Structure 1
Amino acid sequence: MLRLEQLDIRQEGFHLTADWEVAKGAKVAVIGPSGAGKSTLLMALAGFVPHGGRVTWNGQNMAALAPGDRPLSILFQDQNLFPHLTLAQNLGLGLSPRLQLAAADHAHIETTLARVGLGDMGSRKPAQLSGGQLGRAALARALLRARPILLLDEPFAALGPALKAEMLDLVTETANETGATVLMVTHDPADARRFAELTVLVADGVAAAPVPTAALFANPPPALRDYLGA
Protein backbone atom coordinates (compact mmCIF):
# COMPACT_ATOMS: atom_id res chain seq x y z
CA MET A 1 0.00 0.00 0.00
CA LEU A 2 1.17 3.53 -0.84
CA ARG A 3 0.39 5.93 2.00
CA LEU A 4 0.77 9.71 2.12
CA GLU A 5 0.59 10.73 5.77
CA GLN A 6 0.01 14.47 6.24
CA LEU A 7 2.25 15.16 3.25
CA ASP A 8 3.14 18.86 3.23
CA ILE A 9 5.08 20.45 0.36
CA ARG A 10 6.13 24.07 0.75
CA GLN A 11 8.05 26.11 -1.79
CA GLU A 12 8.18 29.84 -2.40
CA GLY A 13 4.62 30.88 -3.17
CA PHE A 14 3.43 27.26 -3.25
CA HIS A 15 1.82 24.92 -0.73
CA LEU A 16 0.34 21.46 -1.28
CA THR A 17 -0.99 18.92 1.20
CA ALA A 18 -2.17 15.33 0.86
CA ASP A 19 -3.31 12.64 3.29
CA TRP A 20 -4.53 9.41 1.70
CA GLU A 21 -3.60 5.91 0.63
CA VAL A 22 -4.01 3.64 -2.38
CA ALA A 23 -3.90 -0.13 -2.48
CA LYS A 24 -1.25 -2.15 -4.25
CA GLY A 25 -2.08 -2.49 -7.92
CA ALA A 26 -4.29 0.61 -8.09
CA LYS A 27 -4.29 2.72 -11.25
CA VAL A 28 -4.75 6.36 -10.31
CA ALA A 29 -5.04 9.48 -12.48
CA VAL A 30 -3.86 12.83 -11.12
CA ILE A 31 -5.67 15.79 -12.67
CA GLY A 32 -6.09 19.50 -11.98
CA PRO A 33 -5.30 23.00 -13.18
CA SER A 34 -1.86 23.93 -14.50
CA GLY A 35 0.43 24.95 -11.67
CA ALA A 36 -1.68 23.24 -9.02
CA GLY A 37 1.12 20.82 -8.13
CA LYS A 38 0.44 17.57 -10.01
CA SER A 39 4.04 17.08 -11.15
CA THR A 40 5.37 18.38 -7.84
CA LEU A 41 3.38 15.70 -6.05
CA LEU A 42 5.02 12.97 -8.13
CA MET A 43 8.46 14.52 -7.69
CA ALA A 44 7.96 14.50 -3.91
CA LEU A 45 7.01 10.82 -3.97
CA ALA A 46 10.12 10.13 -6.04
CA GLY A 47 12.35 11.95 -3.54
CA PHE A 48 13.25 14.98 -5.65
CA VAL A 49 11.21 17.56 -3.70
CA PRO A 50 11.50 17.98 0.10
CA HIS A 51 8.32 17.72 2.15
CA GLY A 52 6.88 17.31 5.61
CA GLY A 53 4.88 14.29 6.70
CA ARG A 54 5.60 10.77 5.56
CA VAL A 55 5.40 8.70 2.40
CA THR A 56 5.34 4.97 3.07
CA TRP A 57 5.22 1.87 0.91
CA ASN A 58 3.95 -1.25 2.67
CA GLY A 59 4.65 0.50 5.96
CA GLN A 60 8.25 1.48 5.15
CA ASN A 61 9.04 5.18 5.38
CA MET A 62 10.76 6.18 2.14
CA ALA A 63 12.28 9.38 3.58
CA ALA A 64 15.59 7.67 4.33
CA LEU A 65 15.89 6.28 0.80
CA ALA A 66 17.69 8.11 -2.01
CA PRO A 67 15.59 8.58 -5.16
CA GLY A 68 17.36 5.73 -6.94
CA ASP A 69 16.72 3.37 -4.05
CA ARG A 70 12.98 4.00 -3.76
CA PRO A 71 10.63 1.24 -4.92
CA LEU A 72 9.45 3.26 -7.90
CA SER A 73 10.18 4.42 -11.43
CA ILE A 74 9.13 7.76 -12.87
CA LEU A 75 8.49 8.44 -16.55
CA PHE A 76 8.56 12.03 -17.82
CA GLN A 77 7.10 13.64 -20.93
CA ASP A 78 10.55 14.14 -22.52
CA GLN A 79 11.30 10.38 -22.15
CA ASN A 80 14.88 11.04 -20.86
CA LEU A 81 16.56 8.86 -23.50
CA PHE A 82 20.21 9.63 -24.21
CA PRO A 83 20.65 10.42 -27.93
CA HIS A 84 24.20 9.04 -28.19
CA LEU A 85 23.23 5.60 -26.84
CA THR A 86 21.38 2.82 -28.60
CA LEU A 87 17.94 1.82 -27.45
CA ALA A 88 19.34 -1.29 -25.77
CA GLN A 89 21.96 0.80 -23.96
CA ASN A 90 19.33 3.29 -22.79
CA LEU A 91 17.38 0.41 -21.31
CA GLY A 92 20.54 -0.99 -19.80
CA LEU A 93 20.92 2.17 -17.72
CA GLY A 94 17.82 1.06 -15.85
CA LEU A 95 19.80 -1.96 -14.63
CA SER A 96 23.28 -0.47 -14.27
CA PRO A 97 24.19 3.24 -14.45
CA ARG A 98 27.64 2.18 -15.72
CA LEU A 99 26.20 -0.31 -18.21
CA GLN A 100 28.02 -3.17 -16.54
CA LEU A 101 25.64 -5.83 -17.79
CA ALA A 102 25.77 -9.61 -17.63
CA ALA A 103 24.50 -11.91 -20.35
CA ALA A 104 21.27 -12.37 -18.40
CA ASP A 105 20.80 -8.59 -18.35
CA HIS A 106 21.13 -8.37 -22.14
CA ALA A 107 18.59 -11.17 -22.50
CA HIS A 108 16.22 -9.35 -20.14
CA ILE A 109 16.56 -6.17 -22.23
CA GLU A 110 15.72 -8.05 -25.43
CA THR A 111 12.69 -9.66 -23.78
CA THR A 112 11.44 -6.30 -22.50
CA LEU A 113 11.89 -4.64 -25.90
CA ALA A 114 9.88 -7.42 -27.49
CA ARG A 115 7.20 -7.00 -24.84
CA VAL A 116 6.57 -3.38 -25.90
CA GLY A 117 6.78 -4.12 -29.63
CA LEU A 118 10.38 -3.00 -30.20
CA GLY A 119 11.99 -6.41 -30.46
CA ASP A 120 14.11 -5.63 -33.51
CA MET A 121 15.13 -2.07 -32.63
CA GLY A 122 17.67 -2.44 -29.83
CA SER A 123 20.55 -1.22 -32.01
CA ARG A 124 18.77 1.98 -33.07
CA LYS A 125 19.35 5.38 -31.50
CA PRO A 126 16.50 7.61 -30.31
CA ALA A 127 16.69 9.88 -33.38
CA GLN A 128 15.78 6.88 -35.52
CA LEU A 129 12.54 6.24 -33.63
CA SER A 130 9.05 7.69 -34.05
CA GLY A 131 7.24 9.43 -31.20
CA GLY A 132 5.27 6.32 -30.39
CA GLN A 133 8.42 4.19 -30.42
CA LEU A 134 10.17 6.63 -28.09
CA GLY A 135 7.26 6.34 -25.68
CA ARG A 136 7.46 2.57 -25.85
CA ALA A 137 11.21 2.67 -25.26
CA ALA A 138 10.92 4.88 -22.18
CA LEU A 139 8.15 2.67 -20.83
CA ALA A 140 10.30 -0.40 -21.50
CA ARG A 141 13.11 1.05 -19.39
CA ALA A 142 10.69 1.70 -16.53
CA LEU A 143 9.34 -1.85 -16.81
CA LEU A 144 12.85 -3.26 -16.89
CA ARG A 145 13.51 -1.80 -13.45
CA ALA A 146 10.51 -3.80 -12.18
CA ARG A 147 9.71 -1.41 -9.33
CA PRO A 148 6.30 -1.86 -7.67
CA ILE A 149 5.30 1.81 -8.14
CA LEU A 150 5.21 3.54 -11.54
CA LEU A 151 4.80 7.33 -11.73
CA LEU A 152 3.84 8.79 -15.11
CA ASP A 153 4.18 12.55 -15.59
CA GLU A 154 2.25 13.05 -18.86
CA PRO A 155 4.75 10.93 -20.83
CA PHE A 156 2.37 10.51 -23.78
CA ALA A 157 0.92 14.04 -23.94
CA ALA A 158 2.75 14.88 -27.17
CA LEU A 159 1.38 11.84 -29.01
CA GLY A 160 -1.65 11.84 -31.26
CA PRO A 161 -4.92 10.39 -29.94
CA ALA A 162 -4.48 6.93 -31.47
CA LEU A 163 -0.88 6.49 -30.30
CA LYS A 164 -1.69 7.86 -26.85
CA ALA A 165 -4.58 5.44 -26.46
CA GLU A 166 -2.29 2.60 -27.55
CA MET A 167 0.32 3.57 -24.94
CA LEU A 168 -2.27 3.88 -22.18
CA ASP A 169 -3.58 0.43 -23.02
CA LEU A 170 -0.02 -0.92 -22.93
CA VAL A 171 0.53 0.58 -19.48
CA THR A 172 -2.75 -0.92 -18.32
CA GLU A 173 -1.80 -4.33 -19.68
CA THR A 174 1.64 -4.37 -18.11
CA ALA A 175 0.38 -2.99 -14.78
CA ASN A 176 -2.23 -5.73 -14.65
CA GLU A 177 0.45 -8.34 -15.35
CA THR A 178 2.95 -7.06 -12.79
CA GLY A 179 0.60 -5.74 -10.11
CA ALA A 180 2.31 -2.33 -10.18
CA THR A 181 0.69 0.67 -8.52
CA VAL A 182 0.47 3.46 -11.11
CA LEU A 183 -0.07 7.20 -10.62
CA MET A 184 -0.46 9.13 -13.87
CA VAL A 185 -0.56 12.90 -14.22
CA THR A 186 -2.83 13.98 -17.05
CA HIS A 187 -4.67 17.09 -18.21
CA ASP A 188 -7.12 15.08 -20.32
CA PRO A 189 -10.26 13.63 -18.70
CA ALA A 190 -10.44 11.05 -21.52
CA ASP A 191 -7.07 9.66 -20.42
CA ALA A 192 -8.26 9.35 -16.84
CA ARG A 193 -11.45 7.59 -17.90
CA ARG A 194 -9.56 5.20 -20.16
CA PHE A 195 -6.83 4.27 -17.72
CA ALA A 196 -7.69 4.91 -14.09
CA GLU A 197 -10.33 3.49 -11.81
CA LEU A 198 -9.44 6.23 -9.28
CA THR A 199 -8.61 9.90 -9.74
CA VAL A 200 -6.88 12.45 -7.49
CA LEU A 201 -7.93 16.07 -7.99
CA VAL A 202 -5.13 18.56 -7.27
CA ALA A 203 -6.48 22.06 -6.75
CA ASP A 204 -6.44 24.91 -4.24
CA GLY A 205 -3.41 23.58 -2.40
CA VAL A 206 -4.76 20.07 -1.80
CA ALA A 207 -4.22 16.74 -3.53
CA ALA A 208 -7.57 15.27 -2.59
CA ALA A 209 -8.07 11.63 -1.69
CA PRO A 210 -8.63 9.33 -4.70
CA VAL A 211 -12.24 8.78 -5.68
CA PRO A 212 -13.77 6.59 -8.41
CA THR A 213 -13.04 8.24 -11.75
CA ALA A 214 -16.49 7.80 -13.26
CA ALA A 215 -18.20 9.27 -10.22
CA LEU A 216 -15.81 12.25 -10.07
CA PHE A 217 -16.49 13.29 -13.65
CA ALA A 218 -20.20 12.57 -13.38
CA ASN A 219 -20.48 15.00 -10.46
CA PRO A 220 -17.36 17.19 -10.51
CA PRO A 221 -16.62 19.52 -7.58
CA PRO A 222 -16.38 23.26 -8.35
CA ALA A 223 -12.60 23.25 -8.86
CA LEU A 224 -12.86 20.47 -11.44
CA ARG A 225 -15.85 22.11 -13.17
CA ASP A 226 -13.85 25.32 -13.48
CA TYR A 227 -10.87 23.44 -14.87
CA LEU A 228 -12.97 21.52 -17.40
CA GLY A 229 -14.98 24.58 -18.34
CA ALA A 230 -18.20 22.71 -17.68
Structure 2
Amino acid sequence: MLKLEGIVIRQGDFRLGADVTIDAGARVAVIGPSGAGKSTLLSLISGFLPPETGRVFWQGQDITDAAPGARPVAMLFQDNNLFPHLTVAQNVGLGIRPNLRLDRDETVLVTQALVRVGLGPFAQRKPAKLSGGQQSRVALARVLVQRKPLVLLDEPFAALGPALKIEMLDLVAELLEETGAGLLMVSHDPEDARRIADQAILVAEGKAHPPAPTAALLDNPPPVLKAYLG
Protein backbone atom coordinates (compact mmCIF):
# COMPACT_ATOMS: atom_id res chain seq x y z
CA MET A 1 0.00 0.00 0.00
CA LEU A 2 1.22 3.49 -0.94
CA LYS A 3 0.23 6.29 1.40
CA LEU A 4 0.82 10.02 0.95
CA GLU A 5 0.17 11.64 4.30
CA GLY A 6 -0.11 15.41 4.68
CA ILE A 7 1.95 16.03 1.56
CA VAL A 8 2.57 19.59 0.38
CA ILE A 9 4.77 20.29 -2.64
CA ARG A 10 5.80 23.84 -3.54
CA GLN A 11 7.55 25.07 -6.66
CA GLY A 12 7.55 28.86 -6.78
CA ASP A 13 3.90 29.93 -6.76
CA PHE A 14 2.72 26.36 -7.42
CA ARG A 15 1.34 24.31 -4.53
CA LEU A 16 0.03 20.75 -4.53
CA GLY A 17 -1.43 18.94 -1.54
CA ALA A 18 -2.08 15.20 -1.26
CA ASP A 19 -3.58 12.85 1.31
CA VAL A 20 -3.95 9.69 -0.74
CA THR A 21 -3.89 5.94 -0.12
CA ILE A 22 -3.45 3.47 -2.99
CA ASP A 23 -3.79 -0.26 -2.45
CA ALA A 24 -0.98 -2.57 -3.54
CA GLY A 25 -1.62 -3.92 -7.04
CA ALA A 26 -4.21 -1.26 -7.89
CA ARG A 27 -4.30 0.30 -11.35
CA VAL A 28 -4.84 4.03 -11.02
CA ALA A 29 -4.99 6.76 -13.64
CA VAL A 30 -3.87 10.28 -12.74
CA ILE A 31 -6.03 12.78 -14.59
CA GLY A 32 -6.71 16.48 -14.53
CA PRO A 33 -6.07 19.78 -16.33
CA SER A 34 -2.69 20.59 -17.85
CA GLY A 35 -0.32 22.09 -15.33
CA ALA A 36 -2.31 20.84 -12.35
CA GLY A 37 0.56 18.74 -11.00
CA LYS A 38 0.07 15.22 -12.34
CA SER A 39 3.70 14.68 -13.31
CA THR A 40 4.74 16.47 -10.12
CA LEU A 41 2.86 13.86 -8.13
CA LEU A 42 4.75 11.04 -9.86
CA SER A 43 8.05 12.84 -9.31
CA LEU A 44 7.29 12.96 -5.60
CA ILE A 45 6.43 9.26 -5.42
CA SER A 46 9.51 8.25 -7.42
CA GLY A 47 11.79 10.31 -5.19
CA PHE A 48 12.90 12.96 -7.67
CA LEU A 49 11.04 15.75 -5.85
CA PRO A 50 10.97 16.14 -2.06
CA PRO A 51 7.85 17.38 -0.26
CA GLU A 52 7.85 20.57 1.76
CA THR A 53 5.83 18.77 4.41
CA GLY A 54 4.29 15.32 4.82
CA ARG A 55 5.46 11.74 4.53
CA VAL A 56 5.43 8.96 1.93
CA PHE A 57 4.84 5.39 3.12
CA TRP A 58 5.07 2.04 1.34
CA GLN A 59 3.63 -0.97 3.15
CA GLY A 60 3.85 1.04 6.36
CA GLN A 61 7.52 1.94 5.91
CA ASP A 62 8.50 5.61 5.68
CA ILE A 63 10.30 6.13 2.34
CA THR A 64 10.08 9.94 2.26
CA ASP A 65 13.85 10.34 2.29
CA ALA A 66 14.72 7.24 0.29
CA ALA A 67 16.71 7.71 -2.93
CA PRO A 68 14.87 7.00 -6.21
CA GLY A 69 16.74 3.73 -6.77
CA ALA A 70 15.87 2.49 -3.31
CA ARG A 71 12.12 2.99 -3.75
CA PRO A 72 9.66 0.25 -4.73
CA VAL A 73 8.84 2.01 -8.02
CA ALA A 74 9.89 1.82 -11.66
CA MET A 75 9.13 4.82 -13.85
CA LEU A 76 8.53 4.99 -17.59
CA PHE A 77 8.97 8.49 -18.97
CA GLN A 78 7.24 10.08 -21.96
CA ASP A 79 10.44 10.23 -24.03
CA ASN A 80 11.39 6.62 -23.13
CA ASN A 81 14.78 7.90 -21.89
CA LEU A 82 16.83 5.57 -24.09
CA PHE A 83 20.56 6.09 -24.63
CA PRO A 84 21.32 6.25 -28.37
CA HIS A 85 24.91 4.94 -28.07
CA LEU A 86 23.79 1.76 -26.26
CA THR A 87 22.19 -1.32 -27.76
CA VAL A 88 18.64 -2.36 -26.96
CA ALA A 89 19.92 -5.02 -24.55
CA GLN A 90 22.19 -2.52 -22.81
CA ASN A 91 19.39 0.00 -22.43
CA VAL A 92 17.30 -2.69 -20.76
CA GLY A 93 20.23 -3.84 -18.63
CA LEU A 94 20.48 -0.36 -17.12
CA GLY A 95 17.31 -1.21 -15.24
CA ILE A 96 19.30 -3.83 -13.31
CA ARG A 97 22.76 -2.28 -12.99
CA PRO A 98 23.75 1.24 -14.09
CA ASN A 99 27.30 0.01 -14.73
CA LEU A 100 25.96 -2.77 -16.99
CA ARG A 101 28.15 -5.39 -15.32
CA LEU A 102 25.49 -8.07 -15.44
CA ASP A 103 26.03 -11.62 -14.31
CA ARG A 104 24.73 -14.60 -16.27
CA ASP A 105 21.33 -14.70 -14.56
CA GLU A 106 20.82 -10.97 -15.08
CA THR A 107 21.75 -11.28 -18.75
CA VAL A 108 19.15 -14.04 -19.10
CA LEU A 109 16.60 -11.78 -17.41
CA VAL A 110 17.25 -9.05 -20.00
CA THR A 111 16.83 -11.55 -22.83
CA GLN A 112 13.59 -12.86 -21.35
CA ALA A 113 12.22 -9.34 -20.95
CA LEU A 114 12.97 -8.49 -24.57
CA VAL A 115 11.28 -11.68 -25.73
CA ARG A 116 8.26 -10.87 -23.58
CA VAL A 117 7.80 -7.46 -25.21
CA GLY A 118 8.35 -8.88 -28.70
CA LEU A 119 11.88 -7.60 -29.28
CA GLY A 120 13.96 -10.76 -28.92
CA PRO A 121 15.69 -10.40 -32.33
CA PHE A 122 16.48 -6.71 -31.77
CA ALA A 123 18.80 -7.00 -28.76
CA GLN A 124 21.90 -5.67 -30.54
CA ARG A 125 20.26 -2.83 -32.43
CA LYS A 126 20.58 0.83 -31.45
CA PRO A 127 17.42 2.83 -30.61
CA ALA A 128 17.73 4.92 -33.80
CA LYS A 129 17.12 1.74 -35.82
CA LEU A 130 13.77 1.13 -34.10
CA SER A 131 10.30 2.52 -34.67
CA GLY A 132 8.59 4.64 -32.02
CA GLY A 133 6.53 1.69 -30.86
CA GLN A 134 9.61 -0.53 -30.62
CA GLN A 135 11.42 2.11 -28.57
CA SER A 136 8.47 2.17 -26.17
CA ARG A 137 8.77 -1.61 -25.84
CA VAL A 138 12.47 -1.29 -24.96
CA ALA A 139 11.61 1.19 -22.21
CA LEU A 140 8.87 -1.13 -20.99
CA ALA A 141 11.30 -4.06 -20.90
CA ARG A 142 13.64 -1.97 -18.74
CA VAL A 143 10.78 -1.40 -16.31
CA LEU A 144 10.03 -5.13 -16.34
CA VAL A 145 13.55 -6.23 -15.33
CA GLN A 146 13.50 -3.94 -12.30
CA ARG A 147 10.83 -6.16 -10.71
CA LYS A 148 9.33 -3.31 -8.70
CA PRO A 149 5.86 -3.60 -7.14
CA LEU A 150 4.68 -0.22 -8.45
CA VAL A 151 5.01 1.05 -12.03
CA LEU A 152 4.71 4.77 -12.80
CA LEU A 153 3.82 5.84 -16.34
CA ASP A 154 4.07 9.51 -17.30
CA GLU A 155 2.24 9.49 -20.64
CA PRO A 156 4.88 7.26 -22.24
CA PHE A 157 2.73 6.45 -25.28
CA ALA A 158 1.39 9.94 -26.03
CA ALA A 159 3.47 10.25 -29.22
CA LEU A 160 2.17 6.98 -30.67
CA GLY A 161 -0.75 6.64 -33.04
CA PRO A 162 -4.12 5.50 -31.63
CA ALA A 163 -3.84 1.83 -32.67
CA LEU A 164 -0.25 1.48 -31.44
CA LYS A 165 -1.06 3.24 -28.17
CA ILE A 166 -3.89 0.77 -27.51
CA GLU A 167 -1.50 -2.09 -28.27
CA MET A 168 1.01 -0.76 -25.74
CA LEU A 169 -1.63 -0.18 -23.06
CA ASP A 170 -2.85 -3.75 -23.50
CA LEU A 171 0.73 -5.04 -23.22
CA VAL A 172 1.18 -3.07 -20.00
CA ALA A 173 -2.03 -4.58 -18.65
CA GLU A 174 -0.80 -8.10 -19.50
CA LEU A 175 2.54 -7.51 -17.79
CA LEU A 176 0.82 -6.15 -14.69
CA GLU A 177 -1.34 -9.27 -14.55
CA GLU A 178 1.75 -11.47 -14.78
CA THR A 179 3.81 -9.61 -12.17
CA GLY A 180 1.08 -8.40 -9.80
CA ALA A 181 2.56 -4.90 -9.86
CA GLY A 182 0.41 -1.83 -9.31
CA LEU A 183 0.15 1.10 -11.70
CA LEU A 184 -0.04 4.87 -11.53
CA MET A 185 -0.46 6.37 -15.01
CA VAL A 186 -0.66 10.02 -15.96
CA SER A 187 -2.93 10.49 -18.95
CA HIS A 188 -4.67 13.33 -20.79
CA ASP A 189 -6.85 10.83 -22.68
CA PRO A 190 -9.91 9.64 -20.73
CA GLU A 191 -10.22 6.59 -22.97
CA ASP A 192 -6.73 5.47 -21.93
CA ALA A 193 -7.78 5.76 -18.30
CA ARG A 194 -10.93 3.73 -18.91
CA ARG A 195 -8.99 1.05 -20.76
CA ILE A 196 -6.36 0.25 -18.13
CA ALA A 197 -7.31 1.78 -14.77
CA ASP A 198 -10.14 0.81 -12.46
CA GLN A 199 -9.53 3.87 -10.30
CA ALA A 200 -8.50 7.45 -10.99
CA ILE A 201 -6.94 10.27 -9.00
CA LEU A 202 -8.11 13.73 -9.97
CA VAL A 203 -5.37 16.35 -9.68
CA ALA A 204 -6.88 19.83 -9.84
CA GLU A 205 -6.97 23.16 -8.06
CA GLY A 206 -3.90 22.42 -5.95
CA LYS A 207 -5.00 19.01 -4.69
CA ALA A 208 -4.57 15.34 -5.54
CA HIS A 209 -7.91 13.80 -4.62
CA PRO A 210 -8.29 10.25 -3.24
CA PRO A 211 -8.82 7.50 -5.83
CA ALA A 212 -12.35 7.09 -7.18
CA PRO A 213 -13.83 4.60 -9.69
CA THR A 214 -12.64 5.71 -13.12
CA ALA A 215 -15.93 5.22 -14.94
CA ALA A 216 -17.94 7.07 -12.30
CA LEU A 217 -15.49 10.00 -12.25
CA LEU A 218 -15.44 10.35 -16.02
CA ASP A 219 -19.18 9.79 -16.50
CA ASN A 220 -20.08 12.38 -13.88
CA PRO A 221 -17.04 14.67 -13.63
CA PRO A 222 -16.82 17.57 -11.17
CA PRO A 223 -16.91 21.02 -12.82
CA VAL A 224 -13.13 21.46 -13.03
CA LEU A 225 -12.70 18.10 -14.78
CA LYS A 226 -15.74 18.66 -16.99
CA ALA A 227 -14.29 21.97 -18.17
CA TYR A 228 -11.03 20.24 -19.03
CA LEU A 229 -12.62 17.28 -20.81
CA GLY A 230 -15.02 19.51 -22.74
TM-score, length basis structure 2:
0.98
Separation in 2, partners of 1:160, 1:71: 31
CA distance in 1, matches of 2:165, 2:228: 22
CA displacement 1:3-35 (0-9 Å, x = unmatched) = 111111111010001112111110000011111
Letter in 1 for 2:27: K
2:130 aligns to what? 129
Residue 208 of structure 1 and its aligned partner are, at CA, apart by 0.6
1: CA distance, partners of 2:158 / 2:131 = 14
Aligned-pair CA distance for 1:111: 0.4
The AA in structure 1 aligned to 2:191 is: A
The one-letter code matched in structure 2 to 1:123 is Q
2:37 match: 37
SS at match of 1:215: helix
CA distance in 2, matches of 1:62, 1:139: 24
What whole-Å deviation, never above 9, does each CA across 1:129-149 have from its counterpart, x for those lacking one? 101101111010011101111
Distance 1:204 1:54 in 2: 21
Structure 2 residue ranges without an equivalent (≥5): none
Deviation >6 Å, runs of 4+: none
Q: How does 1:73-88 map to 2 (within 5 A)?
A: 73-88=74-89
1:1-230 matches, cutoff 5 A: 1-51=1-51, 52-229=53-230
Cα distance in 2 between the residues matched to 1:211 and 1:176: 21
What amino acid sits opposite 2:124 in the alignment? S
CA distance in 1, matches of 2:90, 2:47: 25
Answer with 202-211 or 64-73: which moved more: 64-73
Indicate the percent of aligned positions where both proteins have the same amino acid.
61
> 1:199·1:212 contact (CA, 8 Å) conserved in 2?
yes
Q: Secondary structure at the match of 1:63?
A: coil
Corresponding letter in the other structure for 1:119: G
> Does structure 2 retain, via aligned residues, the 8 Å contact 1:27–1:198?
yes
Post-superposition offset of 1:50: 1.5
3-state DSSP class of the match of 1:147? coil
- Give the unaligned 5+ runs of structure 1: none
